[in-house]
Amino acid sequence: MPKETVEQYIGNVTDTVSSFWHGLSITLSYLLRRPITTQYPDRTELPVRDTLPPRYRGFLEVDASICTGCQACERACPIGCIQINLEKDAANPKLRVVTQFDIDEAKCMFCGLCVEPCPTGAIQHTREFEASQRSVRNLTFRWADPENPFPVYKVVKGAEYFPRAPLGSILRARLEAKRWDAPGPEFLPPDPNAAAPKKAGPGAKAAAAKPAPAKVAEAKPAEAVQAAAQTAAPAEATAAPVAPAAPAAAQPDGGAAAAPTPPNPGDGQPA
């Protein structure tokens, strides 16, 4: 590097100082402008969900009263986080009823692909996004009650309007009804894997594993979270039936607690 002359050196110093003040003057000018940030959530003028654009892709909502049970949304979902089961109504064999309509919002990537093929607009994204739950299982929204299945909606030919409840109202009511730290539900129907640890672990070890599914419901929330975290690793659940007695007994909670999740097509996919 060539040696700097004294003039160059002083020139550099003045350059630096002047450009330093130049930048700082812009920064200082922002002191006098209105801030553009707001404190979330308690200082926003409106609830944040009301300020979001209508196309916002938040939590999914299903209006069961206009769902035709066509399962187009289930097929469209690339992850497979929608699970729909239909059965014939016992009273009226011509009518089909939806016995299960679960959306695993914990897995959902809010892509909106399930909304597009729906013929009636029963499944829609809402602007709800504040729905964190301590138990990840509470994020599986059950839009059909297995005890009390809803009949499928018959589309009138040429209909252009479907009587949908105001978007977000159903979900809102549900979210408000549920505490954020509510314990996770025990899922129906029982998972076929639930029996697996009993088969694998002989005698006393199996007995240790048996009460586990029931335990989850009353388990401390922290435990429920742990158990739920293990459902996130399907390898754990699927490994249980194959594994010899020792590993199955080593973590009876892990293997068995993971079991009562709904049989989800997503587990089989490399999603």
Nearer to ligand SF4, 60 or 209 (CB): 60
CB of 21 to other proteins, least distance (A): 11
* Complete DSSP assignment for 194-240: GGHHHHHS-THHHHHHTTHHHHHHHS-HHHHHHHHHHHT-HHHHHHH
Residue type present at position 139: L
- 139 near ligand SF4, judged by CB under 6 A: no
Task: Of 108, 205, 198, 115, give the one whose Cα is nearest residue 164.
Answer: 115
Query: Binding residue for ligand SF4 (CB under 6 A) from 100, 120, 133, 231?
Result: 120
81 is in an annotated binding site: no
Partner that binds at residue 23, options ligand SF4, other proteins, none, CB closer than 5 to 8 Å by kind: other proteins
CA distance 24 to 44: 30
Stretch of 80-88, 165-173, 219-227, 256-264 lying at the interface with ligand SF4 (CB under 6 A): 80-88
Query: Binding residue for ligand SF4 (CB under 6 A) from 58, 59, 61, 67?
Result: 67
Beta carbons within 8 Å of 117's beta carbon, 6+ residues apart: 72, 73, 75, 76
CB of 198 to ligand SF4, least distance (A): 33
Partner that binds at residue 122, options other proteins, ligand SF4, none, CB closer than 5 to 8 Å by kind: ligand SF4
CA distance 4 to 24: 28
What residues from 40 to 59 belong to the interface with ligand SF4 (CB under 6 A)?
A: none
Partner that binds at residue 269, options ligand SF4, other proteins, none, CB closer than 5 to 8 Å by kind: other proteins
CA distance 167 to 198: 45
- 270 near other proteins, judged by CB under 8 A: yes
Read off the tokens for 239. 């490994």
CB of 66 to ligand SF4, least distance (A): 7
- 76 near other proteins, judged by CB under 8 A: yes
CA distance 173 to 85: 24
